[in-house]
Structure 1
Amino acid sequence: MENYLEFFGFKEEPFKLTPDVNYFFTSEVHQKAFEYLEYFLKSEEGFAVLIGEPGTGKTITLRKFISTFREEAEFAYILFPRLSPEELFKYILQDFGVDTSREEDKNTLFLKLKDLLIDLRKRNKKAVVIVDEAQDIPDETLEELRLLSNLETDDMKLLQIVLAGQPELEKKLNSPKFQQLKQRVTIYLKLQPLSKEEVVQYVYYRFKKAGGDRVSITNSALNLLYKFSKGIPRLINAIMERALMAAYLDKSFTINEKHIKKAFESLEIFKENKGNRKVKQLLLSSFFLFLFTFTIFIYLEKHSSQKNNSLNQIIAQENRKALSAVIAVPMLNVREKPSRKAKIVYVLRKGEKVRVVEKGEFPWIKVKIETENGEIVGWINSKYVNFGD
């Protein structure tokens, strides 16, 4: 008997609830989050935070980030963070491929992790710890993560940490207890639901990705889908999965309002209450019972001496002319001194233009920035700019 995938011509499920990086949809906010995470990795900052309501795409964004850069960094991915400090250290070490034993205490595990990170740096490898659902991490363990971020050499961090979670994480970081940690966060992102236009694009993107060439959906059905899903990708997937089944039972290649309504009813998301539909409950937790383990050995980008030579050539050619630079990454910190430890005095955005006034020890350059409040002078990393008049 023909199943509903064959009926619509799909090669696979188009609206799976489990995060699949092959179905990563580049909405404006998700593309921005991905670009900022890329900048975070390459700039070697200490902490990044990703906030979003349940179902807005935090996990798939993180997994897309990991799958894209697993040849540039080694990742420890913590999905269930209700861990003691000792358990956290063990989990990180095990995800990095290091065996641990029950007898090892926190101090022993810490030293073991430190030795591993130093060894990775000697082999030109980065290390990133990602904590998903970080709002659930115990306070004591979160404080240990802050202490881990202190591990660094004279010019670079030994460990980068990404905290991803629901709005409760934001509240936790805003508490006086974690002010020191919050001050170390240089990348702070909030995922928002999809817009109405993006919901339409999202649905057709998934249709096409799954190979469906017979299915369509009416505009009124799309409007209803947006109204009840509020643009939350996980809800869209759950509704559309059932709407497809309803259309299949009707032997219809077109999804209409009736099918969307049936999908809602089967999910028990809404009920009638004095003439108004109200959300009764969000979906049950999706199937996140996988542990993500990456132990991949990679080589970092080769842009040290080559970039320095290029910079020297440009400055030599410019002679006495003023040299300008255009920011090539989503965000670039301007520091008081040519050091990663120096105070951040300003943050530049992609496409902004600055004037180079001095070349320091590679990769630092001193720049002047014109702002509404006057001129700012500081140091930036020349690896993340394009030079020109």
Structure 2
Amino acid sequence: MDMTQLTQACEQFYGLKQPPFGLTPNTEFYVELPSQKQAFELLLFALSSGEGFIKVTGEVGTGKTLLCRRLLNALSVDGVRTAYIPNPALGAEGLWRAIACELGLNTENKSDLQVQEDIQQCLLQFALNAQPVVLIIDEAQCMPEDTLEALRLISNLETERQKLVQIVLFGQPELNLTLAQPRFRQLLQRITYSADLRPLNNSEALAVYLQQRLSIAGYRGMPLFQASALKHLWQASRGIPRLVNILAAKTLLVGYGNGSHQLESRHVAKAVADTEGAYPSAPDWSWLRLSTLFAAVVLVLI
């Protein structure tokens, strides 16, 4: 049995219609975690208010790309024109051309100056048609410093009444360190709103996250993960959603292999052992405390 067949058999065993813990940013499986909810509401408010610059940061695996996809979907429903740059590791000229392509402009055989002028004229036309334009940059911490400076120049495009383009940056915490440099103080001052995505803060929040994803995938039974398994899974993942998904998917396979309809800490332990990025559980020192107490009692009795 190959891996695909094994996964399908596992899904059938647990009554699932599709994999509940995939790693692709599928908005169908979006779970509104507290920090995700706060960030999404802030994004919608800031964009509706016409603010020019918004920043969302979070550690690897906290759901930035999934939130980004959800924002893109929401803006498309509202008729907002978006330019999405998923890989901004470009030079300044490359960024201008990538934006032009996203706006449907032809850049072939055109100088960099012509490309910039075309973008400005295009944005002016959108403004005349009362259609907002939002530039969304994922993995913004990868942007070279010269490209960040170009981004500041792009944010200068405006009329007397409004910004021609609003900019949303999604990035890892390293982005904050870069923007804190003195040379980027003008850019940092333009960021009017910012949000930070955080991991799940306890095993109770993890239980809600797992149950919602399982339900979306078609599960209709009692909670699969026992309390001990939830605690172990939270410790091993530190509440980071991507790592939770990896470990939970492997735990399902381990449980299926053992014929278990309830997932226990021992199943999670095998998944953790097979995952290099997992955090080892905190050592249990209770035996040491008990042995120390026992030794003290013996000394008193002697």
**Paired residue secondary structure (1:255):** coil
**Uncovered stretches (5+) of structure 2, i.e. residues with no partner:** 285-302
Equivalenced residue count is: 275
Map of 1:192-211 to 2, 5 A cutoff?
A: 192-196=198-202, 197-211=204-218
Does structure 1 residue 228 correspond to structure 2 residue 228? no
Map of 1:60-71 to 2, 5 A cutoff?
A: 60-71=66-77
**Paired residue secondary structure (1:143):** helix
Residue number in structure 2 paired with 1:216? 224
The match for 1:115 among 121, 127, 141 is 121
- CA-CA distance at 1:274 after TM superposition: 12
The answer to whether the 8 Å contact 1:128/1:159 transfers is yes
Please identify which structure carries the higher strand content: 1
Residue number in structure 1 paired with 2:274? 266
Q: Structure 1's 262 and 15: CA in aligned 2 closer, same or farther, altered over 3 A?
A: same
Alpha-carbon distance in 1 for matches of 2:9, 2:103: 42
Residue number in structure 2 paired with 1:354? none
- CA-CA distance at 1:213 after TM superposition: 2.1
Residue number in structure 2 paired with 1:242? 250
Q: Map Cα deviations across residues 149-198 of structure 1 (whole Å, 9 max, x no partner).
A: 11111111100111111111000111101000000000111111112121
- CA-CA distance at 1:22 after TM superposition: 1.2
Which AA in structure 1 matches 2:19?
A: E
**Paired residue secondary structure (2:157):** coil
TM-score, normalization by structure 2? 0.87
Which AA in structure 1 matches 2:60?
A: P
Alpha-carbon distance in 2 for matches of 1:53, 1:273: 20
The answer to whether the 8 Å contact 1:229/1:236 transfers is yes
Residue number in structure 2 paired with 1:177? 183
- CA-CA distance at 1:244 after TM superposition: 0.4
Which AA in structure 1 matches 2:235?
A: K
Does structure 1 residue 252 correspond to structure 2 residue 260? yes
**Paired residue secondary structure (1:216):** coil
Does structure 1 residue 35 correspond to structure 2 residue 41? yes
**Uncovered stretches (5+) of structure 1, i.e. residues with no partner:** 277-389
Alpha-carbon distance in 2 for matches of 1:213, 1:133: 36
Which AA in structure 2 matches 1:235?
A: L
TM-score, normalization by structure 1? 0.68
- CA-CA distance at 1:67 after TM superposition: 0.5
Which AA in structure 2 matches 1:158?
A: L
Q: Structure 1's 159 and 273: CA in aligned 2 closer, same or farther, altered over 3 A?
A: closer
Does structure 1 residue 45 correspond to structure 2 residue 55? no
- CA-CA distance at 1:39 after TM superposition: 0.9
The answer to whether the 8 Å contact 1:128/1:162 transfers is yes
Bigger RCO (CA 8 Å, 6+ sep): 2
Residue number in structure 2 paired with 1:384? none
Alpha-carbon distance in 1 for matches of 2:172, 2:151: 18
- Comparing 67-76 with 49-58, greater Cα deviation is found at 67-76
Alpha-carbon distance in 1 for matches of 2:162, 2:83: 19
Q: Structure 1's 270 and 181: CA in aligned 2 closer, same or farther, altered over 3 A?
A: closer
The match for 1:16 among 17, 22, 32 is 22
Structure 1 vs Structure 2: percent identity of aligned residues? 36
Q: Structure 1's 231 and 109: CA in aligned 2 closer, same or farther, altered over 3 A?
A: same
Quote the RMSD (CA, aligned, Å): 1.8
The answer to whether the 8 Å contact 1:86/1:109 transfers is no
The answer to whether the 8 Å contact 2:236/2:281 transfers is no
Which AA in structure 2 matches 1:236?
A: V
Q: Structure 1's 272 and 204: CA in aligned 2 closer, same or farther, altered over 3 A?
A: closer
Residue number in structure 1 paired with 2:104? 97
Alpha-carbon distance in 1 for matches of 2:115, 2:279: 52
